[in-house]
Amino acid sequence: MLRRVLLGQWILVVGVGIGLTVVGCRTVTPGGECSSDADCPTGEQCRANQCVPIVIDDCQEDADCADGEVCTDGECVDAAPVPECAEDVDCADGEVCTDGECVDAAPEPECEEDVDCADGEVCTEGECVEAAPEPECEEDVDCADGEVCTEGECVEAAVDGAALYADNCAACHGAAGNDGFAPDVTGMDAAALTTGLESASHAGIELTAEEIAAIETFLGA
């Protein structure tokens, strides 16, 4: 009786052993735990011959992600922006590379003070510019005879009284107006000159009011 029980137990042990061996025998790749997901328990997948928990990936490649994202370890993450430049030489002329971006180079100031500039130039907002010219005159008296002061410059008077007198009157009234054979005309005003010029002695002399005024000035009225 005892032998039978022992025999029965032995058969059971052997049977279970064989059964376990058959059921438990899996096709495995040498050196690995699995060769396909089917070799792994539920909830696991075969990765690199290892059964690992199944993780539901966001993505498998960058194309699975939105624009500006890349697929990293199954997750879509913001792509690091591609820098526009690494060095100044990567940028256009007049630009420098700052934090990966080409930006306008701050212009190097040409000067800081007037002394940084050439003669006759002044430093204005970092640039050497032509200095405003020193005015040549402030009033007509600062200029030569026959010239007037216009915007700081002596220019030929539009009507040159001295020249008009010399050309038209000096022959008879003298160079200064009181040293000719004709009467002294110095100090005469435009009205008196106009009247005087109406005499026969002045036939052929035609002057405008402006010219007579210039002669009046020359004669010292």
63: which residues sit within 8 A by CB, 6+ positions away? none
Out of 40, 148, 169, 190, the residue judged to bind ligand HEC by CB under 6 A: 169
Handedness of CA 175, 179, 182, 184 (dihedral sign): positive
Interface stretch with ligand HEC, choices 66-74, 119-127, 148-156, 196-204 (CB under 6 A): 196-204
Q: Residue 140 has which token pair?
A: 């007509």
Whole-angstrom distance, CA of residue 49 vs CA of residue 181: 136
Does 214 sit near ligand HEC (CB under 6 A)?
A: no
Out of 51, 121, 124, 202, the residue judged to bind ligand HEC by CB under 6 A: 202
Out of 38, 201, 208, 210, the residue judged to bind ligand HEC by CB under 6 A: 201
Of all residues in this chain, which one has the CB nearest to ligand HEC in the complex? 196
Task: Tell me the three state secondary structure of residue 124.
Answer: strand
Handedness of CA 65, 71, 77, 81 (dihedral sign): negative
Tell me the closest approach of the beta carbon of residue 215 to ligand HEC, in angstroms. 5
List contacts with ligand HEC (CB under 6 A).
Answer: 168-169, 171-173, 182-183, 185, 188, 192-193, 196-197, 199, 201-202, 205, 207, 215
